[in-house]
Structure 1
């Protein structure tokens, strides 16, 4: 500033009056060839300093959410706020390009969205089996339901729906899906013209909700599902210890109690509070639905089939046939 004023034609006395510096100081700065670098203040100690090595290790190891890391260091004694943790994670985590997604809002009770994905393998009864995650989110309130399964067949999908309906106490007018084979056999330009999986068609017609399908190869048209399975993986499943599938689902139910009770990042409201406005279709208007598991068995020459270690007789006309509808 002193040199700027001097370049404007002001003399040392005038600069001294304008800036408040004495004339000796003004003269000294004008005679310097280069201005001295301002001294950097040493960084102030932070409550987070003690936990930064642990956070860096976790960030480099796996894609934990900042919210989960905050909960973990809280258990270790951290008494600061969540914002400082999120700011630190955002600063050190490599940025990844994310394509823009158009989000749209639906009215209460109108739409839910389903996501079903694989989360790797787990050991069950001494054998490695694939683990799957079913998720349903209500479009208006963002209330979530999550369940882990060892199968992705249609009966399992239907049972997960029934469990979700029970959890919410009802169901929406329509449900949006990817083009999964458990739901649709042949996708048409209009969802309503598609060839549905017969078992799933029986289910949605019984309940009276309308299945909607994402545009092919454009799962982001879901708008609100927000990669729920990926979120469950990062915020709940990674590093999780459990003794059985039942234990894992018990733990995720407790996790749901928490995530449904905190402010949602898109609506800036608590899902549990908005849920009071959902006005879902009540379960009482639908008769109890029985999930049927179909399995194929070959009929022996003496007209018997084997199922779960027992033999059952069948009509003679089915001899040497394969049947799944008995």
Structure 2
């Protein structure tokens, strides 16, 4: 049963225009629960039990004995007492068994505390949707936390591809002032393509492999089906959703990230719930690897495109011109921040500044210089060399002497 605060929070999110699925994703409640409390005016309060007898009373002694002998399921007990004459519902049986079943012991979990500078944890989280240039896009949050100090870094993105992942790492390293010896990841394709029994046989994503080899840190993978392996990062993401994202108001993705960075600075300056120390203070003892002696990593993205017959390529919904003589060929786009270099084979044919928005056309006049003259020349040559589809010929006329026609008219010339 929800508390009054949770009930009012659901109502507030609904009044902000969020639908049931979005509210369920943000709050963690089931959609049925959200729908139930949206239709209710106040949270239902537990009703006092009356002293009336229950249909289950004659069978309680039998149920207690069966449960004490064997850990039978409520469905099994229900079938047995129905054969003995019970006419009530299964829910009554299940609720009663829940009160008498011996509680199971929860296995203790050993909290693993990392030494300074040893390990960080990384994860992605889905955070609803965002309207960008009239399109509905998924919103993700990249999160990295240092295992010893509990320093957090988070940023919202619209993609989880390997290029975004690498850029988020670079930004996190700059925020922390360095990086740990190893970083823990889920089994995601942007990090690893094929997991092997031995770590040395893993098949890493080649682009991410180039990045971690450049910096010299060791990627580690979570054990399958063991969420405790990266509990620090999962707790951090859940806390962010509750303490920052829930009920927040933002004007754009940039505004969201600006406010999120302020939030990270605030929580990193407050005592952590586990260590009871301020993460910024513990950061001084992290002994991170410095980035000072490492050349800046050049994040180079490459994407393949087919040049259209009109001599344009498409990227992120916008069209960019290329020299017309390359129309119809395959090009490689080299993307560096907001710059795009277009290459055909080993030849660089042009470059552009990537523009924001959607359905925009970036046209360079020199890319089409000489195209009209060449087209006219081709048309003239084509017209001169073309053959007609058909030809007309004059009918053949038979030439006869005049006497033939005079004989036909019946006249005789004297």
**Alpha-carbon distance in 1 for matches of 2:254, 2:174:** 17
Name the structure 2 match of 1:309.
319
Which residues in structure 2 correspond to 1:168-183 (within 5 Å)?
168-183=176-191
Decide which of 235, 246, 266 is 1:238's aligned counterpart.
246
Deviation at 1:305, TM superposition (A): 5.2
Decide which of 225, 234, 239 is 1:226's aligned counterpart.
234
**Alpha-carbon distance in 1 for matches of 2:251, 2:178:** 31
CA contact (8 A) 1:305 1:314 kept: no
**Alpha-carbon distance in 1 for matches of 2:163, 2:291:** 19
**Alpha-carbon distance in 2 for matches of 1:125, 1:321:** 28
Deviation at 1:99, TM superposition (A): 8.2
Change (3 A) 1:56 1:121: closer
Name the structure 2 match of 1:212.
220
Structure 1 counterpart SS, 2:302: coil
Higher relative contact order (CA 8 A, sep 6+): 1
Query: 1:57 aligned to 2:11?
Result: no
**Alpha-carbon distance in 2 for matches of 1:99, 1:251:** 39
Decide which of 200, 223, 235 is 2:208's aligned counterpart.
200
Deviation at 1:189, TM superposition (A): 1.9
Deviation at 1:263, TM superposition (A): 1.7
Name the structure 1 match of 2:293.
285
CA contact (8 A) 2:304 2:330 kept: no
Deviation at 1:266, TM superposition (A): 1.6
Change (3 A) 1:302 1:240: closer
Q: Highest Rg: 1 or 2?
A: 2
Query: 1:253 aligned to 2:261?
Result: yes
**Alpha-carbon distance in 1 for matches of 2:169, 2:219:** 12
Aligned-residue CA RMSD (Å): 3.2
How big is each residue's C-alpha offset from its partner over 1:142-167, in whole Å with a ceiling of 9 and x where there is no partner? 00001000111110010100110010
Change (3 A) 1:181 1:140: same
TM-score (normalizing by structure 2): 0.52
CA contact (8 A) 2:313 2:319 kept: no
4+ runs deviating over 3 angstroms: 52-56, 59-65, 97-102, 299-308, 311-316, 318-326
How big is each residue's C-alpha offset from its partner over 1:124-153, in whole Å with a ceiling of 9 and x where there is no partner? 222211000000000000000010001111
Change (3 A) 1:100 1:288: same
Change (3 A) 1:57 1:310: closer
Decide which of 134, 153, 160 is 1:126's aligned counterpart.
134
Which residues in structure 2 correspond to 1:31-42 (within 5 Å)?
none
